Structure 1
Amino acid sequence: MSKEEKDIENFSIENQSEDNGTDNKYIKIKKFRFIMMMFFLVFMTAGITIFVLSFGEDKPVEKITVRDRAEFMKLYDVFESIKGNYVDDIDENQLIEGAINGMVDAIGDPYSDYMTKEETNSFHDSINSSFEGIGAQVEEKEGKIVIVAPIKGSPAEKVGLRANDIILAVDGKSIQGMTATEAVTLIRGKKGTEVELLISRPGIDGNITVKITRDVIPIETVYSEMLKNKIGKVQITSFSNNTLTELQTHLNELKEKGMKALILDVRQNPGGLLEQAIYITSLFVPNGEVIYQMEYNDGKRERQLSGQKESFDLPLVLLVDGGSASASEILAGALKESAGVPIVGEKTFGKGTAQSAVDFNDGSSFKITTARWLTPNGNWIHEKGIEPDYQVSLPEYAYLPYINPELELKESMLSDPVKVVEKMLKALGYDPGKIDGFFDEKLSAAVKEFQKAEKLEETGVVTGDTTLSIMERLRENLIKNDPQVKKAIEVLKEKLEESKKD
């Protein structure tokens, strides 16, 4: 019993003894006691309510707040109507997931995306040490699932998939209307399993069917070699967790070998972690110079400055192409505008937005575009890309489509794959005759000559190992005679000559 209740009770007893049976005072005392008890109960109830609302597990205050929002009433009405009236059993979680997906899709932004737990895990795998799949970065672009770039050495690269290839179907299932993460979930799978993609390639008539055997895709993101004249070449295939460390190791090794100039290659690099891009760009941009500007929905801009105290002091050229996207374009924009580094290759992909990720307790998450990034000079390159200082295209054969090794191409056949074989053999230095898609004796002789050089059975038929060998030799030929690398070397030689004069 509280002190207030004891005082009230004592007061009542004392007055009863003094009044010798008089009821008026007693009634007033009882009424006063009742009122005080009511106040006490109200305060106690309020205290308990505040405690529950603040610390209770169900957080009823949140539910009340959401339900009080008028704009959500239609959503609740539809949800309740489906639950109460739909003819079959309903998975409520599936309804909620669908509602969230629909809300995010309604933004109309291909880079804002809700991801289930499985899709979130797949997304995190892509920036960790390895994952199982075909090794291709994809994005949703104008309602289509487009390959940004295959990963170096991946099954996707080996079968000839390229930037801007459009994936129409996976294992016969159309992916029209899917998000990029939904498509990736279908494409990925266990090592050794096979996936079939239906591809549309710009500039090529008809669709291409590609069968790819999935493999473990190691996220080794930096490769290097020393070219003639002590010119180092470093390729960065993506910006992942360990890319900065890998890059520094490769640069130190090249410097120990006497490197005098560097080609930095981000062709077919689809981007990755912004933090890594900042660190790496800072290696080549002088301290205090702008790397990029971030613009938010209120118009406010923030500048990211280079924090590198010792900038790279050797002549440098950057290689880019249509598969260089996002973080690669941040690097390209900063090197071009803040460091005066010449760029060689083809126009970049053109992704000028930045996303933030929100994780939920059930393992799902969603990415939402929260800003636009601009180059140091304030240029927004979204859907426009960055133009190189030296425009150099790859040869026509670099864009030839993949040929399914299961096809059997032989004399008297007329088809598009036959025409592709003719172009490939011609690029390799063989004489297939007229490029017309007809498999004649001249082409058969060229095939036999190739098979002899490769120590394959001389059948004159293009299938299996012969098909794979033709495509592999063509890829090696492109690497050996890469016109973009040759131009970069030419530019660096000029810079080295100028430095000697100075």
Structure 2
Amino acid sequence: MEKRFISLIRFRVAKAQYLNMGLKFKKLLISFFSVFIILASFGLGNYFGKSQCKVCPPEEIDFSLFWEAYHNLQEKFVDKEKLDIQKMIYGAISGMVKSLEDPYTVFLKPEESKRFIEDVTGTFEGVGMEIGIRKGQLQVIAPLEGTPAQRVGLRAGDKILEINGTSTVDMIVEEAVNLIRGPKDTEVTLTILREGWEKPKEFKIVRDIVEVPSLKWEVKRPASGYPDIAYIKLYQFSEKASFDFSKAAIEIMESPCKKIILDLRNNPGGYLEVAQDISGWFLERGEIVVIEDFGGKKEQKIYKAQGPSQFLDYPIVILINAGSASGSEILAGALRDNRGILLIGEKSFGKGSVQELEKLKEGSSLKITVARWLTPKGELIADKGLEPDIEVEMTEEDYEAGRDPQLDKAIEVIKNL
């Protein structure tokens, strides 16, 4: 009896333990299934959320600091009427872009974006100069030929301290352009500091319709016994410059001129394709004009001369200065690296980067530096510029007296080539 009783107790205990285990297993299974459902729902929600958002926030970046600052401003800033959400978003994007410390990578608000596109594709009214930022300072790259900026005496390298009394400190180029541009016959005041000046001066400029020629050429006749020289002044690499250069080239070949001075001073650049076309007159077909380097993100792109190589046997020298930028530096670098052509004058500006315009929401856009130019021998142009082989400075006295010692030197050198 005792054994049977003990066995019955053991059986009941075992049965109870078994039932209890079953209950626990059911609870565990239900819990596991619930967790699975929650995780699956989260995963599917995350997946579908990602598939539906146009630009998803990066998961690896913690934006909590940004939102913490935003909420504190919303809760505590004293002037509630100044809390313009759209302006705050634009300001945050601009700050992010400025942290890259690249003056050519900029965020453009809708009105700035619209004006930038108009400048690239159409005519405009203003003072007629190319401006840029160098070492953090807004300055004149080049006053354009026959424009109000040139007529009042602005020069390459002039530092622009104020525009109508507004400081240019931390001002992006596009913002400065918006302030300088304006309707014909209206006035803008620029506060300028030039190298060698003890204090800045104000220039009052009356705006006009800006129409810049692409080039001019003339015959220079040195002393007796020397052949005539074709002097070509390229003002910019505009859309029509290729046609104008072809026309001038034919005239030069039909003239007695057998030597060429190519003047790229105060030429701020323009279309790459035009610089490539003009290079083709001086280089053998297939020679490298410039290399587009993407910083290792993708393979370099090489631009080559396409001919017609008609000036291949002409002795040439090139004039450059601080106003020679972008396309001018590409052309000068190509001729120097391929043919050993001498550069005379002053160091060029150093605008050797490529920008793309990315359109964003609500009409805004982002101008991004995507590549840098290298000369055929791999020399970086950006922020360095091209050093002249023969350095000749233009002094204040030269400008006032109408002298051109750089051109005089070019004539002296090419006479003996």
What interval of TM-score do these two structures reach, taking the shorter chain for normalisation? 0.7 to 0.9
Residues 156-171 of structure 1: matches in 2 within 5 Å? Answer: 156-171=149-164
| Residue 66 (structure 2) pairs with residue 75 (structure 1) | yes
Deviations 1:356-391 (A, max 9, x none): 221235333222222232221122243332122222
Aligned-residue CA RMSD (Å): 2.9
* Structure 1 position 66, deviation (Å): 1.7
| Residue 286 (structure 2) pairs with residue 294 (structure 1) | no
* Whole-angstrom CA distance in 1 between matches of 2:239 and 2:113: 17
In 2, are the aligned partners of 1:146 and 1:167 still within 8 Å (CA)? yes
What's the TM-score once normalised by structure 1's chain length? 0.66
Among residues 288, 310, 313, which one is paired with 1:312 in the alignment?
A: 310
Deviations 1:89-126 (A, max 9, x none): 33322222111111110101112111223333443444
* Whole-angstrom CA distance in 1 between matches of 2:317 and 2:299: 29
The equivalent of 2:167 in structure 1 is 174
* Whole-angstrom CA distance in 2 between matches of 1:139 and 1:232: 32
Among residues 472, 481, 491, which one is paired with 2:413 in the alignment?
A: 491
The equivalent of 1:110 in structure 2 is 103
* Whole-angstrom CA distance in 2 between matches of 1:395 and 1:53: 63
The equivalent of 2:386 in structure 1 is 386
- Shift in alpha-carbon separation, 1:61–1:395, aligned structure 2, 3 A: closer
- Shift in alpha-carbon separation, 1:343–1:265, aligned structure 2, 3 A: same
Structure 1 residues 198-207 or 219-228, which shifts more? 219-228
* Whole-angstrom CA distance in 2 between matches of 1:243 and 1:100: 37
In 1, are the aligned partners of 2:107 and 2:365 still within 8 Å (CA)? yes
SS of equivalent residue, structure 2 residue 191: strand
In 1, are the aligned partners of 2:146 and 2:212 still within 8 Å (CA)? no
* Whole-angstrom CA distance in 2 between matches of 1:186 and 1:286: 45
The equivalent of 1:40 in structure 2 is none
* Whole-angstrom CA distance in 2 between matches of 1:110 and 1:162: 21
The equivalent of 2:230 in structure 1 is 232
* Whole-angstrom CA distance in 2 between matches of 1:347 and 1:194: 32
The equivalent of 1:97 in structure 2 is 90
In 2, are the aligned partners of 1:238 and 1:272 still within 8 Å (CA)? yes
Residues 38-187 of structure 1: matches in 2 within 5 Å? Answer: 60-62=52-54, 65-66=56-57, 68=59, 70-79=61-70, 81-83=72-74, 86=77, 87-89=79-81, 90-128=83-121, 130-187=123-180
- Shift in alpha-carbon separation, 1:237–1:359, aligned structure 2, 3 A: farther
Bigger fraction of residues in helix: 1
In 2, are the aligned partners of 1:100 and 1:114 still within 8 Å (CA)? yes
The equivalent of 2:346 in structure 1 is 346
SS of equivalent residue, structure 2 residue 268: coil
Residues 249-268 of structure 1: matches in 2 within 5 Å? Answer: 249-268=247-266
Structure 1 residues 229-238 or 171-180, which shifts more? 229-238
Deviations 1:365-419 (A, max 9, x none): 22222223222112224333212222222244246xxxxxxxxxxxxxxxxxxxx
5+ residue gaps, structure 1, are 1-45, 55-59, 400-423, 428-476, 496-502
In 1, are the aligned partners of 2:218 and 2:232 still within 8 Å (CA)? yes
In 2, are the aligned partners of 1:223 and 1:234 still within 8 Å (CA)? yes
* Amino acid aligned to 2:249: L
- Shift in alpha-carbon separation, 1:310–1:272, aligned structure 2, 3 A: closer
Residues 406-425 of structure 1: matches in 2 within 5 Å? Answer: 424=400
In 1, are the aligned partners of 2:320 and 2:344 still within 8 Å (CA)? yes
In 2, are the aligned partners of 1:293 and 1:301 still within 8 Å (CA)? no
Deviations 1:129-171 (A, max 9, x none): 5311111111112221111111111111111111111111111
* Whole-angstrom CA distance in 2 between matches of 1:340 and 1:150: 29
The equivalent of 1:376 in structure 2 is 376
In 1, are the aligned partners of 2:290 and 2:304 still within 8 Å (CA)? no
- Shift in alpha-carbon separation, 1:179–1:107, aligned structure 2, 3 A: same
* Whole-angstrom CA distance in 2 between matches of 1:354 and 1:295: 9
Deviations 1:200-240 (A, max 9, x none): 11111111111111111114222222333542222222223
**RCO comparison, higher one (Cα < 8 Å, 6+):** 2
- Shift in alpha-carbon separation, 1:108–1:270, aligned structure 2, 3 A: same
Residues 413-492 of structure 1: matches in 2 within 5 Å? Answer: 424=400, 427=401, 477-478=402-403, 482-492=404-414
* Whole-angstrom CA distance in 2 between matches of 1:114 and 1:242: 30
- Shift in alpha-carbon separation, 1:366–1:240, aligned structure 2, 3 A: farther
The equivalent of 2:18 in structure 1 is none
The equivalent of 2:41 in structure 1 is none
5+ residue gaps, structure 2, are 1-43, 222-226
* Amino acid aligned to 1:96: I
What's the TM-score once normalised by structure 2's chain length? 0.79
In 1, are the aligned partners of 2:280 and 2:308 still within 8 Å (CA)? no
* Whole-angstrom CA distance in 1 between matches of 2:408 and 2:125: 34
Q: Percent identity?
A: 38
SS of equivalent residue, structure 2 residue 65: helix
* Whole-angstrom CA distance in 2 between matches of 1:218 and 1:326: 20
* Amino acid aligned to 1:216: I
| Residue 324 (structure 2) pairs with residue 324 (structure 1) | yes
